[in-house]
Structure 1
């Protein structure tokens, strides 16, 4: 049965954030809010999270997982950036974008694309996400909370708790955060290619 945390969307309670992070460090899989819908989250070091998310979402091995970073300095430790990507991504973050880039050796192999050795990275604006990542001290392994039989991500914490009570370990509820996932920009070939249009304005990368 999932633990339920009702947190303030703008000023999340430090005690609740600390309790969620302690669970993440103990291999928990959580549902949490971002600036572009709810997501699954886990520690990068979790030995079980990738397979749990794949099973819940029915994902294949081509799916890109995302590392949710606190800031641009942290993001730069996990992906290779050339000058044009550096400037464009820095200007667009924090925001509702996911960027697919070549992974550095800091990224565990199971988290990157099995053939391309790429990984998704993002820096969200949501105060709760920021609090979780800063308290954790490393990126949060993440994937959109979109279930295989749903057309859109769920937007209500209580609904997520009801639906996923025995599949996740905690639900962090900060109210509705929309149904639009991030805009995904693939920069792995050295240029920007918008592969999914979502909450972030795609025009700056087209």
Structure 2
């Protein structure tokens, strides 16, 4: 059965549609959704089979891949990470919501969820109402990974209709939130003594460090 194609306007997302998408996530569904950077693919972090489906779609092993979690705000982060140092917390407070991924030390909850021995987890709080509302309504983070394009010129797919055509038989819902960007988030590794820039993306490093 083809995936549902649901249009959600970022300015005023319809709560009924949000609830429908959350229902699918609770049921172990895989969705594609807009963020403040590129379109992402995700599922409820507690649904093991859905996590495995995403890994299969991306041709990766769940234990080896660096998945990130989308959280509603900073208060959710403590459930999955070890205590943050004051400097890291200050930077995160300044940067989020925004186009940044913070790599943090994982606590014991994360390995259970992803069935791996990973010591770190990526945390995202995007500046976009759709994924944040989904997380809030779901009551737990969404596992997220970017949708890459095989195109040599365009690294990320930005047109939701083309994304739907490509993934309609592979996922359960594709959300049309308008054209996405084609620059990914800036990744900051906060697991060492200094915050290290792993990838400079849409988020300005100078603005927050």
TM-score by length of 2: 0.91
CA distance in 1, matches of 2:91, 2:55: 31
CA distance in 1, matches of 2:32, 2:111: 22
Partner of 2:15: 14
Q: 5+ residue gaps in structure 1?
A: none
Indicate whether 1:135 and 2:113 are aligned. no
Does the residue aligned with 2:109 lie in a helix, a strand or coil?
Answer: coil
Q: Note if contact 1:64-1:113 (Cα within 8 Å) is conserved in structure 2.
A: no
Indicate whether 1:96 and 2:99 are aligned. yes
Q: 5+ residue gaps in structure 2?
A: none
Q: Note if contact 2:95-2:208 (Cα within 8 Å) is conserved in structure 1.
A: no
Partner of 1:125: 127
Partner of 1:77: 79
CA distance in 2, matches of 1:66, 1:154: 19
Indicate whether 1:177 and 2:171 are aligned. no
Q: Note if contact 1:63-1:113 (Cα within 8 Å) is conserved in structure 2.
A: no
Partner of 2:112: 109
**1:1-48 CA deviation, whole Å, 9 max, x = no partner?**
111101112111101000000000000000000001100010011122
In the TM superposition, residue 76 of structure 1 has moved relative to its aligned partner by 2.3
Between 177-186 and 45-54, the greater mean CA deviation after superposition:
45-54
Partner of 1:34: 35
In the TM superposition, residue 62 of structure 1 has moved relative to its aligned partner by 3.3
Between 21-30 and 42-51, the greater mean CA deviation after superposition:
42-51
CA distance in 1, matches of 2:60, 2:205: 25
Report how many residues are paired: 204
TM-score by length of 1: 0.92
Does the residue aligned with 1:175 lie in a helix, a strand or coil?
Answer: coil
Partner of 1:4: 5
Between 28-37 and 138-147, the greater mean CA deviation after superposition:
138-147
Partner of 1:57: 58
Q: Note if contact 1:69-1:133 (Cα within 8 Å) is conserved in structure 2.
A: yes
Aligned alpha-carbon RMSD (Å): 1.8
Q: Note if contact 2:72-2:125 (Cα within 8 Å) is conserved in structure 1.
A: yes
Counterpart mapping for 1:38-49 below 5 A: 38-49=39-50
CA distance in 1, matches of 2:115, 2:200: 22
In the TM superposition, residue 63 of structure 1 has moved relative to its aligned partner by 2.2
Partner of 1:189: 192
